[in-house]
Structure 1
Amino acid sequence: MEKVYDSADFGARDALDAWAAITADAVMPTGFELIGTDTFDGCLKVASLGAVQISAMSYHSFRCLRTPKLIRKADPECFQVAFMRSGRHVLEQDRNQTALRSGEIAIFDSSRPFETWADGESLLIQFPHAVLPLPASRIRWMLARSFPGAKGIGGLLADFLTRMEEDGSDYTPQDSIRLATVSLDLVTTVIAHYLERDSDVPPDSRQRALYLRVTSYILRHLGDPALTVDAIAAAHHISVRSLHRLFQQHGTSVRVWIRAQRMEHCCRDLADPMKRHQPIAAIAARWGFPRPPDFTRAFRACYDITPSEYRDRACGHGTDSGPQHERPVLEARASRAPDRRG
């Protein structure tokens, strides 16, 4: 994400006006006034994914108003889905009002007047009305209502938005297209779930959302050595055959994907100087390798190097490597690892 606003860059008298001007361009025109304070603290980061935009906001005690006049002045004709990370938020639109707590999700519409009172942090995904394949009349029912975002299907969207904010990667145009598709699939699935209109979600979107649900589940249980194909399929109420087919559509298998993720997490910990004191066996067990000999064999098969040699090189203790030693490319060698564990 690119930081486009930081109140520390402005004087106390100018900070709120600058916020209004920048958010008008980055999100939509709205009016602001401070509540119980004379100074404004805030930060705004944005990631543009074509027609989709993701924003990370922090702000301090203000009232935000989008009036019919502002809508006539400029309307991106978008829905916004907000995930509340912390603080207090009250949202009012279309005769609905909700007091949002941390971990909750709400949807609102740029084409209809709304009012908010906000203090805290939120993640926002914004997308055009036209790209959502669900009845507009039903979506209006959801405006300014709260939905769970800390678990279940809402939690999957919240996790995706959080990762987007934390990820410092530079994305190519093709990456942005894929991420926009993923984000819209997630939003569509979440909204359809709460509308009880799952059958309205296009089959391709359902499959992509299911893949994200499954991979998110695997990452949450990555350290469990009992994580198996059967257990994953049962947790998602699908057959083992369907699970295999789902991963085949992404050019891999369930077991290979799990093994690659476990190895990647082990590599990160082994290369972390702050974890230098932790035994290699403890790191391996944390990520689903309870037997040290199995881990050593699997690691060598992936990297042509032992875990201890990798740690020494990554931390700058090898004879021919400095602190900036480049980590081996996991994807190029993961298929060589023995596939004995699900």
Structure 2
Amino acid sequence: MERIFDSSDFSARDALPAWENVIAEAVMPTSFKLIGTDVFRGRVSTMPLGAVQLSAMAYSSYLTQRTPKLIRASDPEILALGVTNSGPHVIEQNRKRAAVRPGDLLLFESSRPFETYADGGNILLQFPRALLPLPARQIDQIICRTLPGDQGMGRLLRTFLTHLTEDSTEYTPQDAARLGTVGLDLVTATLAHFLEREGAVPSDSRQRVLYMRITSFIERHLGDTTLTAGEVAAAHHISVRSLHRLFQQHGVTVRSWIRGRRLERCRRDLADPAQRHVSIQAIAARWGFPQPADFTRVFRTVHGITPSDYRNRSHDHSTETGARSQAPGAPR
């Protein structure tokens, strides 16, 4: 994510007009009016994902309007799927009014007027309306309708978007385009689910979403040492053979993918200074390696170093970095 706006870079008088200009460029032209304060505070970070864009925003209370005049002046013809992170949000569009709570999802569009009260923060995924492979009449049914983001497809989509905003990985343009495709697949599948029109989702999108659902399920059960391919397949109502075929399309086996994710969780915990007091054996068991000798062997094979040596080097590096940052004259 690239920070493109921070109100602390502007004077109190200039912050809101600057915000309005940034939102017009990054999302769509709208007008803003502060509520209960004369000082605006906010920030925006964005990530281009091919034809899709992801934005993370935080802001103080305001009213925003997208009027017919603004639409005539500029209409990017986009749909936007918002995930509310915090604070109250109320939006009116398409003769509907929705009160959105933290964790909820909501779809709105640039081509019709809307009015919003917002205070807090959200994540926004925007994309050309033409890219959503659902009939217009079905899309209209779900515009400005709150959708739960705490279960099923809604949770999968919310988790995916939240992870992207928190991930510090630098993606190549090719990676970004693929992530945009996955995001659009998840939006399509989520909306089709709530519309009870799953059959309208293209087969290739369904396969990509199924893979995301399965890997998300496995992530939540990494600590279960009894987890088998049969259980994973049964939980998603497919055969074990179909499960293996799906993972082969992504260049991995089910077993190697699970082992890789378990090792990565162990590696992160070993490098975490806050978990220095947790034994290596406990960390390994936590993530599905009940036999210490087996864990040490697999970890060394992948990383070329034992778990204890990796932990010591990680913490020594962290200590040295902290000492340098505290040294007199060190850049801050």
TM range (shorter): over 0.9
CA distance in 1, matches of 2:30, 2:24: 6
The 8 Å contact of residues 233 and 239 in structure 1, kept in 2 or not, is answered as: yes
Write out per-residue CA displacement over residues 140-159 of structure 1, whole angstroms, 9 at most, x where no aligned residue.
11111100112210111111
CA distance in 2, matches of 1:138, 1:161: 23
CA distance in 1, matches of 2:66, 2:86: 23
1:10 aligns with 2:3: no
RMSD over aligned CA atoms reads 1.4
Using the TM superposition, give the Cα deviation of residue 10 of structure 1 relative to its aligned residue in structure 2, in angstroms. Answer: 1.1
Residues 251-290 of structure 1: pairs in structure 2 closer than 5 A: 251-290=251-290
Unaligned runs of 5+ in 1: 325-342
Which 10-residue stretch deviates more, 161-170 or 292-301?
292-301
Using the TM superposition, give the Cα deviation of residue 303 of structure 1 relative to its aligned residue in structure 2, in angstroms. Answer: 3.2
SS at match of 1:165: helix
2:309 maps to 309
Structure 1 vs Structure 2: percent identity of aligned residues?
Answer: 59
Write out per-residue CA displacement over residues 103-135 of structure 1, whole angstroms, 9 at most, x where no aligned residue.
100000100101110111100000001111100
Amino acid at match of 1:316: D
1:49 maps to 49
CA distance in 1, matches of 2:40, 2:65: 16
Tell me the TM-score normalised to structure 1 length: 0.90
The 8 Å contact of residues 80 and 127 in structure 1, kept in 2 or not, is answered as: yes
Unaligned runs of 5+ in 2: 322-332
- Deviating beyond 4 angstroms after TM superposition, the runs of 4 or more aligned structure 1 residues are none
1:156 maps to 156
CA distance in 1, matches of 2:11, 2:304: 56
SS at match of 1:28: coil
Write out per-residue CA displacement over residues 7-53 of structure 1, whole angstroms, 9 at most, x where no aligned residue.
11111111111110110000000011011111111111111112100
Which 10-residue stretch deviates more, 206-215 or 273-282?
273-282
1:205 aligns with 2:174: no
The 8 Å contact of residues 314 and 323 in structure 1, kept in 2 or not, is answered as: no
SS at match of 2:63: strand
SS at match of 2:87: strand
1:231 maps to 231
CA distance in 2, matches of 1:204, 1:83: 25
Using the TM superposition, give the Cα deviation of residue 190 of structure 1 relative to its aligned residue in structure 2, in angstroms. Answer: 0.7
SS at match of 1:147: coil
1:139 aligns with 2:139: yes
1:167 maps to 167
SS at match of 2:289: coil
Tell me the TM-score normalised to structure 2 length: 0.93
Write out per-residue CA displacement over residues 306-326 of structure 1, whole angstroms, 9 at most, x where no aligned residue.
221222233338xxxx968xx
SS at match of 1:148: coil
The 8 Å contact of residues 49 and 177 in structure 1, kept in 2 or not, is answered as: yes
CA distance in 1, matches of 2:97, 2:192: 21
CA distance in 2, matches of 1:11, 1:45: 20
CA distance in 2, matches of 1:8, 1:309: 43
SS at match of 2:205: helix
CA distance in 2, matches of 1:311, 1:42: 39
1:27 maps to 27
The 8 Å contact of residues 313 and 323 in structure 1, kept in 2 or not, is answered as: no
2:70 maps to 70
